[in-house]
Amino acid sequence: MSDTSGFSRTSPAPFQWQLRLPPAALAGVRTRRVIAVCLDFILVSLLVAALWFVLIFLTLGVALLVLPPLFPFVAFFYNGFTVSGWRMATPGMKAMDLEMRLTDGSSVPFLYAAVHAVLFYLSWFFTGGLILIVSLFTVDKRCLHDIFSGVIVTRRAN
């Protein structure tokens, strides 16, 4: 039995290697993901800048001395709350008509979504994006951080 998105609900394994998705669910996913990441990076950067200005104003400049880098914290909660929400996508992913699900087709819990973001930023930081090449060799266009998180990014079902 499968729903309209093409996910098979009979598979109990969260790290299923061979997903049975229609070709339309994965059409153009790589390109759309790159654009979505750029949009999300801009949004998170704007949120961090606004938060910095508010904190600097409220603490009369003392925040410059004691605040840790806010980007990782904001990105963690940004991805966790937006992907685990009812839209199953960050604003950038939603703009690119993408959604993220667990490999069994269910929605992604907060912790999975947040860990997915951490793995993405760590892989980007340490490899300069080379780890994303894995998606060229996987049938379902999943990157290494997707596989480790047990998620898949597909086109939004109509």
User: CB of 39 within 8 A of CB of 94?
Assistant: no
Q: In this structure, is residue 133 part of a structural domain?
A: yes
| Number of domains composing the chain | 1
Encode the chain (158 residues) as per-residue pLDDT tens digits. Answer: 444 555 554 444 444 445 577 778 888 888 999 899 999 999 999 999 999 888 888 888 787 777 778 888 899 999 999 999 888 999 999 999 999 999 888 899 999 999 998 888 888 888 877 777 888 888 888 888 888 888 999 998 76
Strand blocks (E) in the chain: 98-102, 151-155
As a whole number of Å, the end-to-end CA separation of the chain is 19
**What residues does 8 pair with on adjacent strands?**
2
Letter for the amino acid at 118?
A: V
SS3 call for 30: helix
Q: Model-level pTM greater than 0.75? A: yes
Q: What is the domain extent for residue 129?
A: 23-155
| 17 within domain boundaries | no
Whether 3 maps to a domain, the answer reads: no
Question: Does residue 149 belong to any structural domain of this protein?
Answer: yes
